Chain A
Amino acid sequence: MTDSFPENTLVRSGFSQRTLFNTVMTCLGFACGALALLPLLAVLAYVVVQGFSSLGPDIFFQLPPSPFGQGGGFGNAILGTILMVGIGTLISIPFGVLGAIYLTEFSSKTTARWIRFATNVLSGVPSIIAGVFAYGLIVLTLTKLKIGSYSALGGGFALAVLMLPIIVRTTDEALQLVSEDLRQAAVGLGATNFQTVSRVVLPAAMPAIVTGSTLAIARASGETAPLLFTALFSSFWPSADSLFKPTASLAVLVYNFAISPYKNWQSLAWAASLILVIMVLITSIISRWATRQKA
């Protein structure tokens, strides 16, 4: 007999070639998984260790100090980040969600394919290009109209451009996961397209849409490059007209202060990094909590 199976016993041997290979590969897989987590944990630990010492109530309520000054904070940058991410969210969520609804519910297959392709391209555009685009479209226009220049509006718009493809893609995927049976049930009861989408499809997809939007918000909060072109920076508190004036943001503050030679600025940069991470964390916890499935 030439094609017989090898003589194996039923007793498991730790040293057979197959078992050894199996064990080695399992260990390798575990090691790679642990290594993938390592950067996240290291970054978090480093930011916490470095930033924690400069943390205090002052950082929320005070303006950045002079290079050799004492104390100070970056309350204006926190507000600026919230303002600009807010503008970005207000622009990108309606456009993104409604666009994705058109994509999954009403467009023809060919149209949908092209829109999906375009969205993927947009999500691959480097963020600095989004900044240049917003600079050209918003900042230069404001300058021409003489009502402003570098501004929160420009920064928010640049962030919206970056958030849009994330929101379209996650909403699109969430809507596609909603069972066709549910749509037919609604339509079969005499629901119009609008009623079907707004009362059945969207509620069913809501948790995934919120998760996607949170992801987009988290991504936008940390963007620096597009804001350098559009919102610049400011050492003052945002005011009623700061939509049209240079505005501070945490990300740009971290960039400016971290490369400065001044010790007090550098430690503020660490504190700002920590605050940024905490803000993203809180956003995602709140959204998870708000959309958790009931029962």
Chain B
Amino acid sequence: MSTDNSVTNSTEAILRTEGLNIYYGNFLAVQNVWLNIPKHQVTAFIGPSGCGKSTLLRCYNRLNDLIESFRAEGKVYFNDKNLYAPDIDPVEVRRRIGMVFQRPNPFPKSIFDNITFGAKINGYKGDLAELVQRSLQQAALWDEVKDKLHQSGLSLSGGQQQRLCIARAIAVQPEVILMDEPCSALDPISTLRVEELIHELKERYTIVIVTHNMQQASRVSDRTAFFNVKTSEKGERSGYLVEFDATEVIFSDPQQEDTKAYISGRFG
């Protein structure tokens, strides 16, 4: 296994993992990940089901802490702070590193309250109406909902709900946005809108996106990490990083046999 972790000198890494092992109980779900995620770029995680790409993603904002048996070994740096150091407050980590989930999950509240929720709980002092407008504009949803901000977020279509969730994540002004298969529950048109949105968002935010869809990875990302699964002699399947490089390289000239096989559709 060899991984190319070199990030070009012009971009600094905002998230770095060093020898990260993720366990559920005694089961090693993801092993030995060394990965540098560059600032203000879109990094895509691809790979077959069960390769641990979502699990890894959820380590970056410590959302895995919600799972009782979860344990991480190794280091995850956010800028220069190890996120798993004992003095780190996971609540503040999650404010700085936002998340958009697989299924749109707006709160059963009004569109306005959905956006302001994060701001309120984090003690935001500014003008809420302005924050709502700015966040919705950045999420390319403002024009569609500006006249019905007080309707329930659940009254929107699936694609709009997902953009509402992106707006909600943006509203707490994170540095990184993690996206866990954000388009897998959406129709092709809505998917396209979200992908366009990702392009616009990378100006301000660093984006890490997990996707099952290789075309999507090639369309939206600057760099792509390919993960695969291997089965140990005990029959446990654990994920590992196979290759990480610029997206063009991964899709045109991958260095690893497994990557080549996966992107050409021979398995997965």
Give A residues with C-beta under 8 Å from B: 108-109, 179, 181-192, 195, 199-200, 203-204, 295
Q: Which of the four size classes fits the interface of chain B?
A: 20 to 34
Q: How many A-B residue pairs have CB under 8 A?
A: 67
7 inter-chain pairs at a CB distance below 8 angstroms, sorted by A residue, are: A109-B68, A186-B117, A189-B94, A189-B169, A191-B91, A191-B121, A200-B107
Q: Is the CB of B101 within 8 A of A184?
A: yes
Known: A189-B169, A190-B172. A181 touches B101 (CB 8 A): yes
Q: Is the CB of B103 within 8 A of A188?
A: no
CB distance from A48 to the nearest CB of B (A): 40
**Interface code B73-109, partner A: CB below 8 Å = 1, 0 otherwise?**
0000000000000000001101110110101011111
Bound Cα distance A186, B118 (Å): 8
Contacts of B106 in A (CB 8 A): 185
Contacts of A192 in B (CB 8 A): 91, 121
- Residue in B closest to A194 when the chains form the complex, CB atoms: B121
B165 within 8 A of A: yes
B137 within 8 A of A: no
Contacts of B101 in A (CB 8 A): 181, 184-185, 188
Q: Is the CB of B61 within 8 A of A188?
A: yes
Question: B66, B103, B118, B152: which contacts A190 (Cβ < 8 A)?
Answer: B118
Give B residues with C-beta under 8 Å from A: 61, 63, 66, 68, 91-92, 94-96, 98-99, 101, 103, 105-109, 117-118, 121-122, 152, 165, 168-169, 172
Known: A184-B101, A190-B94. A195 touches B121 (CB 8 A): yes
Bound Cα distance A200, B61 (Å): 20
CB distance from A56 to the nearest CB of B (A): 47
Q: Is the CB of B172 within 8 A of A185?
A: no
Known: A189-B172, A191-B121. A184 touches B95 (CB 8 A): no
**Most chain A CB within a 10 A radius of its CB, from B68, B107, B122, B168:** B107
**Most chain B CB within a 10 A radius of its CB, from A183, A188, A189:** A188
Question: B66, B98, B169: which contacts A184 (Cβ < 8 A)?
Answer: B66
CB distance from A282 to the nearest CB of B (A): 28
Contacts of A183 in B (CB 8 A): 66
Bound Cα distance A183, B99 (Å): 13
Q: Is the CB of A190 within 8 A of B63?
A: no
Contacts of A191 in B (CB 8 A): 91, 117-118, 121
Q: Is the CB of A190 within 8 A of B121?
A: yes
- Residue in A closest to B100 when the chains form the complex, CB atoms: A188
CB distance from B31 to the nearest CB of A (A): 25
Q: Is the CB of A295 within 8 A of B165?
A: no
Bound Cα distance A200, B94 (Å): 17
